[in-house]
C-alpha cells in the first residue's frame, strides 16, 4: 500500500481549492477594508510561548500540542493558534513604536493533536485578526463586526453570535471561587482530572470532554460578575453592536478555554455544523502583551476555522462558485507544430492571458476535451492549412462561433477579447 496522509490532516486538491481561495480572498479584502495589515509568523515556536499565553493548565497546552525537542534540545511546538505568535512578533519587533495601534490579520495552518472528527482536525487552517494597542470598546465592536462581515460574504449567514464578558483578573478570581463552591458538592462525580482542575484552574472543568463533568460544570456556570469598569466596557460593546445592527445573544454563560482572555469574549456558532459548531471565536486579552515582555496595552482579536467556514457555507446552501471560462488553449494538429504553438502560448502569457496547450501530440478531439477541462474560453487551432494561410482558426467555446485570425494580430485580438486580467 502507498503512503497516505496522517490522521487528522487532508490534501486540498485543485477543485477544493477554488472554494478555499475565495474565502482567503474575501478575508484579505475585508480585513484591508477595515484597516488591518497582513502578518505571517513561523509555524514553529518555542513551547514556552504557549505555556505562558494560552496557559499551562489548558487542554491545548497539556494534551494537544505537537511538541518535540530540536537537535539542540530546545522545546519546539507546531503552533496551535495564532494569537500568541502575533503578540510575540509585536513585542519582538516593537510594533508599538512603528505601527502605534497595530491592526494585523493572518491566514495559516495551525496544529492540535486532537481526536479527529468532522470539523476537528490535527492540521487545520485559521484566519484571524488581532488589534493590539487599544482598550476601547469600539475595537471589540469592530473586531466582532469584521468577523460577522467575513462570514456573511463567505455564505455563512445562519449564525448565532454569543457575547459575554469574563471580566478583569479580579472578576475572574471571584467567579472562579463561586464556580468552585458550586462544584464542590459534585466533586465525587467529577473525573480525577477535574478534581485537580477544581483547585488549579476551575474554568478548565468547562472544557472537559467527559460528558458528566461537562454537564455539571455548565449547569453551575453563571454569567461572570463584573466590577464597575468591566460592566461599563461591556455595556458599551453591546450598545455598539446594537447601533450597528449586529445581532447577538448575551444571555449565554460561557468561558473561553484559553487563559489569556479578559473582558469581552465571543463565539460564533453556525447552523449545520453539528457538535463542532463554533465557526469563529475571540475576545479581549489585556495582559498578554505585557506578560510577553511588551508595553501594557489592551488587545482584542478573533480566529475562524476555514474548514468549518466552508462546511457551514456548504450546509447553508451556498453554491460553489462556477468558474467562468477564461484564456486560450492552443491546439496543434501534429507534433512538428508544437514549437510554433508554444511561442503563441508564451506570447499570450507575457501579455497576461491565461494560455495552455498539450505537448504530447494528442488527437484534436482529445485536445478539445482538455481545453474544456481547463475551462478555456477560446481554442486556437494551428494546423498545416493555418500555417499556409498564416492565420489561426479561433473557436469561441462560450459563443460557439469560429473565425480565422491572422498570426500577426492573434495575440492582440486575444488580449482584447479576454481583457488583460484573464488569469484570476
Q: 260-283 burial string, b = 16+ CB within 10 Å, else e? A: bbbbbbbbbbbeebeebbbbbbbb
Cβ-based neighbours of 332, under 8 Å, separated by 6 or more = 338, 340, 341, 357, 358, 361, 367, 381, 382, 383
301 binds ligand HAM (CB under 6 A): yes
DSSP 66-115: -EEE-TT--EEEE-S-SHHHHHHHHHHTTHHHHTSSEEEEEEEEEE--PP
82 binds ligand HAM (CB under 6 A): yes
Look at residue 268 and give its three-state secondary structure. strand
Taken in order 335, 337, 340, 344, is the CA torsion positive or negative?
Answer: negative
Question: Applying CB under 6 A, what is the total number of residues that bind ligand HAM?
Answer: 24
283 binds ligand HAM (CB under 6 A): yes
CB 357 within 8 A of CB 342: yes
Closer residue to ligand HAM, CB minimum distance, 124 or 344: 124
59 binds ligand HAM (CB under 6 A): no
CB of 85 to ligand HAM, least distance (A): 9
151 binds ligand HAM (CB under 6 A): no
263 binds ligand HAM (CB under 6 A): no
CB of 45 to ligand HAM, least distance (A): 13
Q: Which residue has the cell 522545546?
A: 75
Binding mask of the shown chain, residues 104 to 143, with x at each position contacting ligand HAM by CB under 6 A: --------x-x-----xx--x-x-x-x-------------
End-to-end CA distance of the chain: 38
CB of 39 to ligand HAM, least distance (A): 13
288 binds ligand HAM (CB under 6 A): no
CB 343 within 8 A of CB 162: no
CB of 225 to ligand HAM, least distance (A): 23
304 binds ligand HAM (CB under 6 A): yes
CB of 324 to ligand HAM, least distance (A): 31
Cβ-based neighbours of 76, under 8 Å, separated by 6 or more = 44, 45, 46, 47, 67, 68, 69, 70
CB of 267 to ligand HAM, least distance (A): 7
Cβ-based neighbours of 322, under 8 Å, separated by 6 or more = none
Closer residue to ligand HAM, CB minimum distance, 307 or 358: 307
CB of 16 to ligand HAM, least distance (A): 15
Q: Which stretch binds ligand HAM (CB under 6 A): 76-84, 241-249, 313-321, 411-419?
A: 76-84
CB of 361 to ligand HAM, least distance (A): 46
Distance CA 304, CA 311 (A): 12
Q: Which residues bind ligand HAM (CB under 6 A)?
A: 81-83, 112, 114, 120-121, 124, 126, 128, 130, 278-283, 301-305, 307-308
Amino acid at each position: 500500500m502507498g503512503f497516505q496522509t496522517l490522521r487528522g490532516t487532508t490534501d486540498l486538491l485543485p477543485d477544493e481549492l477554488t472554494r478555499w481561495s475565495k474565502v482567503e480572498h474575501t478575508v484579505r479584502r475585508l480585513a484591508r477594508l477595515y484597516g488591518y495589515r497582513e502578518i505571517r509568523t513561523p509555524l514553529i515556536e518555542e513551547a514556552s510561548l504557549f505555556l505562558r499565553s494560552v496557559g499551562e493548565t489548558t487542554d491545548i497546552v497539556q494534551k494537544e500540542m505537537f511538541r518535540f525537542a530540536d537537535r539542540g534540545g530546545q522545546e519546539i511546538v507546531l503552533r496551535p493558534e495564532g494569537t500568541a505568535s502575533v503578540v510575540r512578533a509585536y513585542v519582538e519587533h516593537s510594533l508599538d513604536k512603528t505601527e502605534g495601534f497595530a491592526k494585523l490579520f493572518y491566514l495559516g495552518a495551525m496544529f492540535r493533536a486532537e481526536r479527529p472528527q468532522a470539523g476537528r482536525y490535527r492540521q487545520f487552517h485559521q484566519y484571524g485578526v488581532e488589534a493590539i494597542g487599544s482598550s476601547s470598546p469600539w475595537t471589540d465592536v469592530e473586531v466582532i463586526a469584521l468577523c460577522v462581515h467575513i462570514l456573511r460574504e463567505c455564505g455563512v449567514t445562519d449564525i448565532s453570535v454569543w457575547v459575554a464578558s469574563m471580566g478583569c483578573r479580579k472578576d475572574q478570581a471571584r467567579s472562579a471561587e463561586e464556580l468552585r463552591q458550586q462544584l464542590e458538592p459534585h466533586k465525587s462525580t467529577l473525573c480525577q482530572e477535574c478534581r485537580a482542575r477544581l483547585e488549579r484552574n476551575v474554568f478548565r472543568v468547562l472544557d472537559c470532554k467527559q460528558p458528566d463533568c461537562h454537564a455539571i460544570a455548565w449547569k453551575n456556570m453563571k454569567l461572570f460578575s463584573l466590577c464597575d469598569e468591566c460592566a461599563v466596557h461591556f455595556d458599551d460593546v453591546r450598545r455598539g453592536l446594537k447601533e450597528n445592527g449586529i445581532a447577538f445573544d448575551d444571555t449565554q454563560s460561557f468561558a473561553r478555554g484559553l487563559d489569556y482572555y479578559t473582558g469581552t469574549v465571543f463565539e460564533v456558532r453556525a447552523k449545520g455544523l453539528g457538535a463542532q459548531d463554533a465557526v469563529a471565536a475571540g475576545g479581549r486579552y489585556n495582559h498578554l502583551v505585557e506578560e510577553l515582555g511588551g508595553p501594557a496595552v489592551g488587545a482584542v482579536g478573533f480566529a475562524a476555522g476555514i474548514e468549518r467556514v466552508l462546511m457551514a457555507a456548504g450546509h447553508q446552501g451556498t453554491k460553489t462558485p462556477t468558474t467562468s471560462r477564461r484564456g486560450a488553449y492552443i491546439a496543434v494538429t501534429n507534433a512538428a507544430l508544437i514549437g510554433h504553438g508554444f511561442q503563441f502560448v508564451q506570447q499570450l502569457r507575457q501579455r497576461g492571458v491565461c494560455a495552455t496547450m498539450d505537448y504530447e501530440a494528442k488527437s484534436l478531439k482529445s485536445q478539445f476535451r482538455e481545453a474544456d477541462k481547463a475551462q478555456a474560453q477560446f481554442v486556437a487551432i494551428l494546423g498545416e492549412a493555418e500555417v499556409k494561410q498564416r492565420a489561426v482558426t479561433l473557436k469561441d467555446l462560450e459563443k460557439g462561433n469560429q473565425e480565422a485570425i491572422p498570426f500577426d494580430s492573434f495575440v492582440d485580438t486575444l488580449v482584447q477579447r479576454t481583457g488583460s486580467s484573464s488569469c484570476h
